[in-house]
Structure 1
Amino acid sequence: MTRQNLVLAAALCAPALVLAQASPTIYGVVDASVRHTSGLTQAHTPSAAASTGLASGVNSTSRLGFRAREDLGDGLYAIINLETGLNIDTGGTANANKFFDRASVVGVGDAWGQVTAGRQTNMLADAISAVDAVGMRFASFNPNIATAALSAHGLGLEYGAAGSATGSYRLDNSLKYAGKFGPVTARVMYSFGENVGAGSAQSSVGAGLAYAADGWVVSGAYQRFKTSRELALQAATLGAAYQLGSVRLVVNTARSEAVTSATATTVQRVHSAGATWAATGAVDLTAAVYRLERARTGLKGDGYTRAILFAEYKLSRRTRLYAELDRTRWQGGYQGGAAKTGGSGLSGGVVHTF
């Protein structure tokens, strides 16, 4: 063949070679609602007043992501996942410091399991996702996400390589393994602190197990986090779910203990229970109750009880209308001196996935 014919043949083959590679999938969630609160701010903190505004992520957290998977042969594959949180009400990103704040991972997998590296969720979040009372809805208000899985632990210190002093739900510089063996899923995780000459400072290590069979899911995890000064936070969670006909019943309990200084410790517990009823093919109704208890060195114990109701109507496979109602009752002065002893919220919105 002449050189020209070889070039032509290569050009004709190029599209086929491109098609054989993994092409990224663009996906996302767009969630917007009108929310009215009394005794709560739009940011869900205790308040003495009422407010009304446009909210993002009351049902599902708004996001934009990219994922890809490439088959490498003999059952081996490679994956990537990049995901950023969005505020639909303002058009901004949810995290001003990290664009791909929700996920930034690359990994390989086979029949033996999957190993991923990058910024990813901790073991507590992975365990709770299967047994949360409202199905991981309303992340910024959900005590299982905020406190049990440490998305907003309120401790004012950076535990693990979280990139934030407000939460450790996702960790940078982490390696994670997940393998499924029949009805059992096993997970382990290690996050490097990457503090030069500081040993294990800001590192984190954790493990989780889940069992799913015959309508049952049982899921639990333990994880230990350290600050740059080697102060430790230890957290564990255990929950179960059961599918009883058209009703899914869920319970979970979690506990964390954080050393916040040389002389102070904060212990937080979250107990939850809930049920989702698939009333029709288009309508789901969810009810849940959460109880948070907090004990701090030298201070009186406090906490709150929170009830959340969701009603969803499926317009299509990707689009849902929803209504949400919540009530929070503070205990032990958790809300501070100026706020009301209780708060309530009402939301109505639409969520679309693509």
Structure 2
Amino acid sequence: MKHQTLFPKACATLSLLACACTASAQSTLTLYGITDASVRYTDGLSASNAAAVGSASAISSGVNNTSRFGLRGNDDLGGGLSAIFNLETGINLDTGAQASATKLFDRAAYVGLTANWGTLTLGRQTTVLADALGPVDPLGVRFAGFNPNVGIAALSAHGLGIEYGPSGASTGAYRLDNSVKYSGKFSDFTVRAMHAFGEQAASSSALSSSGLGMSYQAADVAATLGYAEFKSASNLQLKAYVAGISGKLGSTKVSLTYGRHEAETTLTAKTRNTTLGLGGTLPLSSSVDLILAHYRVNRTRTTTLVDDGYNRTVAFLEYKLSKRTKLYAELDQTHWQTGYVAASLPDSATGLSLGLVHNF
């Protein structure tokens, strides 16, 4: 397919640009990425971590952190003003394929200006919900494809089957196309505002999105709040917010989060999801960390009288080989409430991963 040939050519071109731009004293260009692969065994889950009968073994990409490749740049324009850009694509390390079959830079593609008044960016970028989640998620946004805070609370995999906002997909809205975002830091507080244009000829509101966020970050405490509204192409509405707090208890970091969204799935039907997360990080030594988190997801739909959801517990044990490289072991347990998955599927599942992650 065309996108499969575009990727290596684009990577080669961008690498040459990175080398060329290092000669400029006023411009910087950084090549960066994460490579994460693990051997994963599951019982009650498929190789793609969906509920399934039986067990599976596979090489998985991105269990600890999503495998990716990117470029970011900064051009000093003088007077404290700089131009910035970021291009980032997800990679399935087990196959070498792009994470997205339709977008070369599915994770980020924006340009902007930054100064002491803040940062203004235009393009494809994360929502204020995603930005609010990062500092307070109990897993530190690990295992993004399986993390209920990322998938449900921040809408990366909302499972509603409708495109809300210009996300380019009917499966999630963690990042939006055609967006303008402002972020400003004032002492310990950061404020964010974002609007994504639906670009629909018949309506200025269809497929659009707007959001506001605020966070507080001090030495040992972080607190965040994000709120966003999304429209479908037919002007169905989704409203969502994410809130959280994290702090240090001795050497242990403890985090608590809450997310809620309500979506119109038809003119007469709604789906509401709430997500509660609790957990933290315990350093066992200078090179070993234990990360433990528990999530509870509750779902209510007007099309059924039965409320359902699931509980998921995830633990990571990480051993730092260096500042850039870690070995990790991961264990997870999921219990679905009746009705969340098909009756023919098991009501519980277990996963075990052993992997290596390297940052460059």
TM class by shorter chain equals over 0.9
Is 1:72 equivalent to 2:82 in the alignment?
Answer: no
Report which stretch shifted further, 118-127 or 211-220: 211-220
Is 1:333 equivalent to 2:339 in the alignment?
Answer: yes
Counterpart residue number, 1:302? 308
Structure 1, unpaired ranges of 5+ = 1-14
Counterpart residue number, 1:6? none
Q: AA paired with 2:285? A: T
For 2:281 and 2:40, locate their aligned partners in 1 and report how far apart those are by CA, in whole Å: 22
Counterpart residue number, 2:153? 148
Is 1:196 equivalent to 2:201 in the alignment?
Answer: yes
Matches within 5 A, 1:1-354: 18-299=23-304, 300-354=306-360
Counterpart residue number, 2:10? none
Deviations 1:113-166 (A, max 9, x none): 000000000110000001101000000000000010000000000000000000
For 1:148 and 1:50, locate their aligned partners in 2 and report how far apart those are by CA, in whole Å: 28
Superposition deviation, residue 42 in structure 1: 1.4
Superposition deviation, residue 56 in structure 1: 0.1
**Is contact 1:47–1:338 with CA below 8 Å preserved after alignment?**
no
**Is contact 2:338–2:347 with CA below 8 Å preserved after alignment?**
no
For 1:293 and 1:287, locate their aligned partners in 2 and report how far apart those are by CA, in whole Å: 20
Question: What SS does the corresponding residue of 1:125 show, helix, strand or coil?
Answer: helix
Superposition deviation, residue 245 in structure 1: 2.4
Q: AA paired with 1:334? A: Y
For 2:48 and 2:156, locate their aligned partners in 1 and report how far apart those are by CA, in whole Å: 14
Superposition deviation, residue 45 in structure 1: 1.1
For 1:245 and 1:76, locate their aligned partners in 2 and report how far apart those are by CA, in whole Å: 40
Q: AA paired with 2:48? A: A
Pair 1:161–1:17, CA change in 2 (3 A) = closer
In the alignment of these two chains, the number of paired residues is 340
**Is contact 2:120–2:181 with CA below 8 Å preserved after alignment?**
yes
Question: What SS does the corresponding residue of 1:19 show, helix, strand or coil?
Answer: coil
Pair 1:17–1:332, CA change in 2 (3 A) = closer
Question: What SS does the corresponding residue of 1:124 show, helix, strand or coil?
Answer: helix
Structure 2, unpaired ranges of 5+ = 1-19
For the pair shown, the structure with the greater C-alpha radius of gyration is 1
TM-score, structure 1 as length reference: 0.94
Superposition deviation, residue 332 in structure 1: 2.4
Question: What SS does the corresponding residue of 1:211 show, helix, strand or coil?
Answer: strand
For 1:121 and 1:338, locate their aligned partners in 2 and report how far apart those are by CA, in whole Å: 36
For 1:17 and 1:329, locate their aligned partners in 2 and report how far apart those are by CA, in whole Å: 51
**Is contact 1:223–1:236 with CA below 8 Å preserved after alignment?**
yes
Q: CA RMSD in A?
A: 1.3
Pair 1:72–1:344, CA change in 2 (3 A) = same
Q: AA paired with 2:134? A: S
For 2:162 and 2:34, locate their aligned partners in 1 and report how far apart those are by CA, in whole Å: 31
For 1:119 and 1:312, locate their aligned partners in 2 and report how far apart those are by CA, in whole Å: 32
For 2:316 and 2:215, locate their aligned partners in 1 and report how far apart those are by CA, in whole Å: 26
Superposition deviation, residue 214 in structure 1: 4.3
Report which stretch shifted further, 249-258 or 326-335: 326-335
